[in-house]
Amino acid sequence: MIYIFLSICCSVTVAVLLKLAKRYQINVLQAVMWNYLAAILLSFVFFRPVLDTVAVLPSPLVVLLGVLLPVLFLILSASVRKIGIVKTDIAQRLSLFIPILAALFLFGENFSRLKIAGLIVGFIAIFLTLFRKSASKAEKFSYVYPVLVFIGFGVIDVLFKQLAIDKSIPYTSALLAVFGVSFIVALLILAYTVVLKKQKVQLINFACGIVLGCFNFCNILFYMKAHRAMSDNPSTVFAAMNMGVILLGSIVGIMLFKEKVSRINYIGIALALTAILLITLSQANAV
């Protein structure tokens, strides 16, 4: 369970760092670019990928993931700044419904009543968590970000599952290739802002990006180690990770950043936990 706990802490820390970026005038785009450089270096240290296979990876899928990751990271950052850690983390964790729906409609998986109940409760939770009675037009528009986080992480999860299906290529090598494409994409976006918008590349953004990359990578590393250590109980890892991030993220957001959460939002958080638990139980019963 220590790996799960460490992965939860790293995941929430990433959200906290993105939340603090605006306060300390950190350029998120630059930090995201250096974040992927850190991920690439750490992949060499911990995964020791087979470099000969990188050149023969399924390029369309790798490129698509490589493009989506930095773009979604920027959207995630905007969501954390606009509506806070609590609601962004929940949107991210509830994105699990998209790969579940993909399993139903794309892969023909049979759904139990428990899983269907979990999906229904989950969609109600999304609405209640993001609900706000009186919101200006600007505030209403800001809720586009968690919706994009929800859709984006769900799609990325499906794509990563597709990448993992290819047993002829080591998954660690594929992950390194994805990080490499993401770094190049972020570098191109940054070059555009530097050349045309005259933004300066600052050392502080490099330092923050490396720190961000370390926590982002460790989140993945500890999550993988948790699955290896508890290979007979994947549903336990899945449930503990998702519920742990929602709980810790909510506590940090409410106590540390004084994020406003209404009674209806609290009901949404409780329903989100219930939905994840129902889906996890349905998976456990299916084994």
User: What is the structure's pLDDT at 221?
Assistant: 87
Structure tokens at 212: 């961000």
User: What is the structure's pLDDT at 138?
Assistant: 58
Name the residue type at position 287: V
d(CA 152, CA 48): 28
Helix axes 97-105, 144-165, angle to 10 degrees: 50
Sheet strands (E) in the chain: none
Quote the number of domains for the chain.
1
Each residue's pLDDT tens digit, 210-262: 999 999 999 988 988 887 787 776 666 777 788 889 889 999 999 999 888 88
User: What is the structure's pLDDT at 183?
Assistant: 94
Mean pLDDT computed over 85-113 = 79
What's the Rg (C-alpha) of the chain?
Answer: 19
Q: What is the pTM of this model?
A: 0.85
Decide if pLDDT at 47 tops 60.
yes
Domain residues for 199?
2-286
Check: CB of residue 82 under 8 Å from CB of residue 173: no
Each residue's pLDDT tens digit, 57-98: 556 888 899 999 999 999 999 999 888 998 898 888 888 778
State whether residue 233 is helix, strand or coil. coil
DSSP for residue 26: -
Check: CB of residue 115 under 8 Å from CB of residue 278: yes
Smallest CA-to-CA distance from 248 within 113, 92, 67 is with 92
